[in-house]
């Protein structure tokens, strides 16, 4: 893996850990703001809203979110070429090993694992964590709230985000019913596809267990299948695997960044500018 060059650092460079749909809202906004963004993904991303997830490039080589292209690279020496093409490089780097070579101006942890998977303040001059699992002032400089509601997108400079409740936000009058979890462990085989209109009880997929048994996965409610993990993914029991929107007229939402993702992205941009100003003033909290 080749190291960073002076040319690569000509523009502000930001690293985003994670390429799921909420992370992609952040990535897309930072790109639109003119920053060089590198996305670090895991080897087997499990995005449900795959049509709006840059991390899908890990499987397909490229991904596209609202007209912006993400491109899989093998190491950071390829970043310059991808940036010059006005695209976003996607690197499989679960341990964030490339951080020390790229030396980003800021790092945003958008993995949304509900816990910190290794991000520290030492990784970059400015660090921002999304959601539960981070403590501002300890393992990052700021935390952005990810829980739907009055505090969504708020920036926390001291303390933590709201603890994970395990219950998704209400859409169209439904909350927990919107999300489907794998009833058993095994290999997922899809019957339906994203954008399909499904009826409650209808099989949208089936899981092939280790014993060869077939377990059907029924739709939890009637509506628009907004998200579904890709074919052949190895799921564990209880794994989040699909998302149904009860609003049948929301077809275009399958292809666009959500209101939640955009709100969180706004919080990230705010946090970055506030922290940057503090850093430039020599604020000890950001040193």
Instruction: Please tell me the least confidently modeled range out of 3-17, 92-106, 198-212, 264-278.
Output: 3-17
Mean pLDDT, the chain, rounded, equals: 92
Q: What's the pLDDT at 232?
A: 97
pLDDT band at 284 (very low <50, low <70, confident <90, very high): very low
Q: What's the pLDDT at 169?
A: 60
pLDDT band at 164 (very low <50, low <70, confident <90, very high): confident
The better pLDDT of the pair 128, 283 is held by 128
The string of pLDDT tens digits covering residues 105-138 is 999 999 999 999 999 999 999 999 999 999 999 9
- Which residues, at least 6 apart from 39, have a Cβ–Cβ distance to it below 8 Å? 15, 16, 18, 19, 23, 27, 54, 55, 70, 88, 89, 90, 91
Q: In what order do the strands lie in the sheet with 88-92?
A: 62-65, 68-73, 88-92, 36-41, 13-17, 106-109, 126-130, 142-144, 155-156
pTM for the model stands at: 0.91
- Residue whose entry in the numeric block shows the structure tokens 């909420």: 22
pLDDT higher than threshold 60 for residue 41? yes
pLDDT higher than threshold 70 for residue 286? no
Instruction: Please tell me the least confidently modeled range out of 2-16, 189-203, 252-266.
Output: 2-16
Return the H-helix or E-strand segment holding 247: none
């Amino acid at each position: 893996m080749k190291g960073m060059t002076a040319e690569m650092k000509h523009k502000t460079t930001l690293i985003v850990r994670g390429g799921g749909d909420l992370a992609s809202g952040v990535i897309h906004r930072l790109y639109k703001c003119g920053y060089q963004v590198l996305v670090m993904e895991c080897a087997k991303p499990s995005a449900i809203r795959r049509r709006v997830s840059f991390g899908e490039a890990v499987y397909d080589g490229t991904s596209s979110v609202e007209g912006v292209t993400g491109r899989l690279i093998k190491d950071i020496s390829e970043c310059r070429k991808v940036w010059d093409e006005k695209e976003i490089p996607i690197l499989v780097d679960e341990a964030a090993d490339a951080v020390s070579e790229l030396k980003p101006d800021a790092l945003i942890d958008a993995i949304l694992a509900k816990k910190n998977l290794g991000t520290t303040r030492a990784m970059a001059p400015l660090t921002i964590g999304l959601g539960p699992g981070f403590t501002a002032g300890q393992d990052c400089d700021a935390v952005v709230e990810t829980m739907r509601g009055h505090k969504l997108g708020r920036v926390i400079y001291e303390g933590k985000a709201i603890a994970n409740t395990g219950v998704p936000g209400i859409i169209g009058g439904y909350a927990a019913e919107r999300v489907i979890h794998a009833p058993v462990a095994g290999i997922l085989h899809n019957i339906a596809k994203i954008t399909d209109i499904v009826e409650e009880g209808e099989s949208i997929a089936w899981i092939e267990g280790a014993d060869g048994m077939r377990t059907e996965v029924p739709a939890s409610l009637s509506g628009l299948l907004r998200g579904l993990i890709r074919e052949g993914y190895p799921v564990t029991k209880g794994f989040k695997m699909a998302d149904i929107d009860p609003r049948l007229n929301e077809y275009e939402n399958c292809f666009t960044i959500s209101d939640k993702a955009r709100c969180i992205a706004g919080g990230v941009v705010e946090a970055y500018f506030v922290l940057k100003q503090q850093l430039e003033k020599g604020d000890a909290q950001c040193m």
